[in-house]
Structures are given as structure tokens and as C-alpha cells.
Amino acid sequence: MNSTIQFLANLASDAALQAADAVNRAELPAHINAMIQANDIKALKAELDVVPDIVCILVVADEDDDEQVDQLQDDSPAPLKIAANG
């Protein structure tokens, strides 16, 4: 499968590989070769187990959290000021 993905990446980036004989010369399994030649994207995705892993989580802040942040900001020391003569 790794060689299939590498070949597909090369196929996408190199116009010379987009000829039908380039797919035939690639040392890929016959069923993968047939999927590429038939332009069967759905079957190819299923074979390579292409699944986008996108996760989004939203967490609502509690009012207590805002108070804690304000309290931390009040307790923090004043920032240091550095001057240099140059």
C-alpha cells in the first residue's frame, strides 16, 4: 500500500507519469492498477482506507473560569522593564 501511495503522489506531481503506460509500468498490484486506469476513486479510497480524521470540540467557559483568570492577572507581578544604552 505504501508503494501505491508513493506512486499516486508521483502521478499527481509529474505530468510524464500520467500516460497509461506509466501506470502499467508501475509495480502495483493488478487490482490497484485497474482502479487507477478506470479512475475509480471511490474503490481506491476504500482500498487504501482513506478517512479524514477531523475532530472539532467546543467547550463553553464557565463564569468561574473568568474570575480565576482575572484573579491570576491581579496577582501577577508587574512586568520587568529593561533599558539598554547602545
Q: 33: domain range?
A: 1-76
Summarised one tens digit per residue, pLDDT across range 63-83 is 666 666 666 666 656 666 666
Q: Tell me, yes or no, whether 81 lies in a domain.
A: no
Q: Tell me, yes or no, whether 18 lies in a domain.
A: yes
- Cβ atoms within 10 Å, residue 35: 21
Q: Tell me, yes or no, whether 85 lies in a domain.
A: no
Q: How many domains does the chain have?
A: 1
Summarised one tens digit per residue, pLDDT across range 16-67 is 777 777 787 888 888 988 888 888 989 988 888 877 778 888 887 766 666 6
Q: Tell me what pLDDT residue 25 has.
A: 81
Residue 5: band (very low, low, confident or very high) from pLDDT cuts 50, 70, 90: confident
Secondary structure, 3-state, the chain:
CHHHHHHHHHHHHCHHHHCHHHHHHCCCCHHHHHHHHCCCHHHHHHHHCCCCCCCCCCCCCCHHHHHHHHHHHHHCCCCCCCCCCC
Q: Tell me, yes or no, whether 34 lies in a domain.
A: yes
**pTM of the complete model beyond 0.75:** no
Q: Tell me, yes or no, whether 54 lies in a domain.
A: yes
Q: Tell me what pLDDT residue 70 has.
A: 66
